Structures are given as structure tokens and as C-alpha cells.
Chains A and B, each alone.
Chain A
Amino acid sequence: DAGVTQSPTHLIKTRGQHVTLRCSPISGHKSVSWYQQVLGQGPQFIFQYYEKEERGRGNFPDRFSARQFPNYSSELNVNALLLGDSALYLCASSPYAQSHEQYFGPGTRLTVT
């Protein structure tokens, strides 16, 4: 069975640009969460989506947005990129919004120059 997939693997952007990251959850999983991991830190929660609705939002500015599609895949959008947005962006899927275990994709490494 395919695990969580994310694209692209790596991305280099310039300050002020916007970026779209994509995630496909494990088949049968309806919940997708996004996390940002800065080097040397643990992942920080950005969003959770379940059944196409936002269920939770972390402490991130409005430049960060996301959505979930009818097939449960998800996009994370970041506008007006800052140098500090450089990080590994992780997508995790789980069967339901209240599921304890979350299963992670390989991440997208975003570098902002």
C-alpha cells in the first residue's frame, strides 16, 4: 500500500513569491495535517483538515492557507515568502480527525532565498 506522498521533494523560491505544496494521504484516510519543521526543532502544527473542512489551525500567519479536495488530497499555500519560511514541510494523514496516530510523508524541503 502506498504511504503518504508529497510533492515536490525540494523547492527553491525567492522572497515575496508564493508556493503550493501537495499531499496525498494514505488510501482510506480522511484527515490531513500539515507541520513545519525548522532545522533542529520538532515539527510545528500548521493545519488539520478533515472531510474538506479545516478542523484546526496552529499559530501561523494568514500567509499560510490550505485546502482539502474531495479525494482527500491537500494543498498547502504560502504567500509572500520570507526567509524564515525555509523549512521541511510535513504532511500527515490519519483515518479520522480524532485519530491518535498520524502517518507522515517524506516532506517537502522549501528553501527561500
Chain B
Amino acid sequence: DQQVKQNSPSLSVQEGRISILNCDYTNSMFDYFLWYKKYPAEGPTFLISISSIKDKNEDGRFTVFLNKSAKHLSLHIVPSQPGDSAVYFCAASTNAGNNRKLIWGLGTSLAVNP
């Protein structure tokens, strides 16, 4: 049962244009959401996060939008650069009592073409 869903396995974008990566979740108890970027043979790198009490968080070229009623979040990258080519994971943080764990989507592979 996939609680965090990234329905697009891959996305191809032209350099300079906007990349939009989408994520849906099913558990309304998730209270924090994170995006990670992963290159082959490396661990995930934290990109940006958003609390469930907010609807937008911006950091440079990266903006995350959260629509709680739709249980949907998206990551916007603008302008996209070839170095952004990687797999992007959406993760939801859940308070499991006295600890926190991350529930992950399957990832979206982004290719930014020069």
C-alpha cells in the first residue's frame, strides 16, 4: 500500500524551462513533507521541505506547494539546469510516537536537456 505516490516515473524538460514534479499522499496524519534529490551511487540529498500548516515554501530556484485538501504537493524548479538531472523523491514525515520516520515515493527521474 503506497502511502506516498509519485505517478510520473520520468520527466524530460528543456534547459531554462520549468520542471514540475508531483506527489500525492493518502495519510492525513503526515505533518511534514520533504523533497530529496538522488544521483546514481549516492545517497539522497535533502532539497526542500514544507510543514503541513503551510502551503508554499521557496528556496532559490526550488518551490514546494502543498494542497492539503487534495493531499497533493508539487516541486517547481525554475529555471531548470542540466545539473538538476537526477531522481527526485517525495517523502512524508510521520510522528510514530517517540520517533520520526520518512515514507517515500518511488521517485521521478528528471532529465534536463541542454
Binding site for B on A (CB under 8 A): 4, 6, 33, 35, 40-45, 48, 50, 55-56, 58, 90, 92, 94, 97-107, 109
Chain B min CB distance to A113 (Å): 20
A35 to B96, CA, bound (A): 16
A54 to B100, CA, bound (A): 12
Report chain B residues within 8 Å CB of A105.
43
Report chain A residues within 8 Å CB of B46.
101-104
A111 to B98, CA, bound (A): 33
* Chain A, Cβ-Cβ closest to B43: A104
A43 to B44, CA, bound (A): 10
Partner of A100 from the list B89, B100, B104, B107 (CB cut-off 8 Å) is B100
Known interface pairs A56-B96, A92-B102; 5 further A-B residue pairs with C-beta atoms within 8 A, sorted by A's residue number:
A35-B102, A43-B104, A56-B101, A107-B42, A109-B41
When A and B form their complex, what is the total count of cross-chain residue pairs whose Cβ atoms lie within 8 Å?
71
| Majority secondary structure, B binding face | strand
Identify 18 residue pairs between A and B in the complex whose beta-carbon atoms are under 8 Å apart, listed by A's number. Answer: A4-B43, A6-B43, A33-B102, A40-B106, A42-B4, A43-B89, A43-B104, A45-B102, A45-B103, A50-B99, A56-B96, A56-B97, A56-B101, A98-B99, A99-B100, A102-B102, A104-B36, A104-B46
Chain A min CB distance to B27 (Å): 14
